[in-house]
Structure 1
């Protein structure tokens, strides 16, 4: 019982911080959804932005809670730098990973195609036509007229000429 009394301040601060986190998360999601609807952004993009904002909030508040409980700042710095070093080595060991992530960001924010568009990938060896059904971190998924799902690495997609079908997508529903 004395243990709980010794840490009463940290418990109260942690509970208040968790409450603030939950409120901020709800408010940010509501703002993201309303702005997304106002500017008619695709649901996929709204969800992705919500995930990013929620992750940033989580790590920020987790760090603050660690400080409240008196975790040594040097331990946090060592852990963070070690984790970043491992991630950095993994990324630099595989340039294609970085290339795919970068390509996905470019496709997601700057490329004229989006999820739901009907496209044709103009390639001399493999002609692919279909509807984009997903854009993930490493791949695009295209559903063909034959109801096949084809995944294409994002960096390869960026290197190909793409023809966007402006007609209705009744063919592939």
Structure 2
């Protein structure tokens, strides 16, 4: 056992440093995302979802760094990874909308042009049920919108970024109600 430790001491030390740095970065990033979520008054479920994505990214980077540190034969690993990525690439190309909706969900989290509880109007001529909506939930793939008549509409995140969206303030709604009287 001592021979193995002596023989691979550089790799073990480098691996320990990489793992420590990744754990610290994940902790700091998670703390920052939670702070952005609380300052912006965002839903806790959305915050946890973004933290999951970031943690997955850090884990992937740590695995790549460990593979490089331990000197895995790149030719053999390259063959395996290229086969895996070819299959994943075909699957993602076939399901590009899922990836674009997840990306749009992350953009919506950090840009927060609107939040849960806001009343919005989507300027989309293809949307069959036009009118005002209240945002009930913002998920990874879609947004739950509630019409005034109680109808629930799910709208994809990538479309909400592509279409013009008007956030309607409560003052406008109160003025419209007083005008009708």
TM interval, short-chain normalised = 0.5 to 0.7
CA contact (8 A) 2:146 2:152 kept: yes
Give the structure 1 partner of residue 66 of structure 2.
Answer: 65
Q: Separation in 2 of the partners of 1:116 and 1:7? A: 60
Give the structure 1 partner of residue 128 of structure 2.
Answer: 125
Instruction: Name structure 1 gaps, 5 residues minimum.
Output: 169-173
Deviation at 1:166, TM superposition (A): 0.7
- TM-score, length-normalised on structure 2? 0.61
Deviations 1:51-103 (A, max 9, x none): 44433322111112223333222334334433333333223334544664565
Q: Which has the higher contact order (CA 8 A, sep 6+)?
A: 2
Give the structure 2 partner of residue 43 of structure 1.
Answer: 42
Instruction: Name structure 2 gaps, 5 residues minimum.
Output: 172-181
Deviations 1:108-158 (A, max 9, x none): 566833333222446673246443233334311224556664322234545
- TM-score, length-normalised on structure 1? 0.63
Secondary structure of 2:64's aligned partner: helix
Query: RMSD of aligned C-alpha atoms?
Result: 4.0
Q: How does 1:18-37 map to 2 (within 5 A)?
A: 18-34=19-35, 36=36
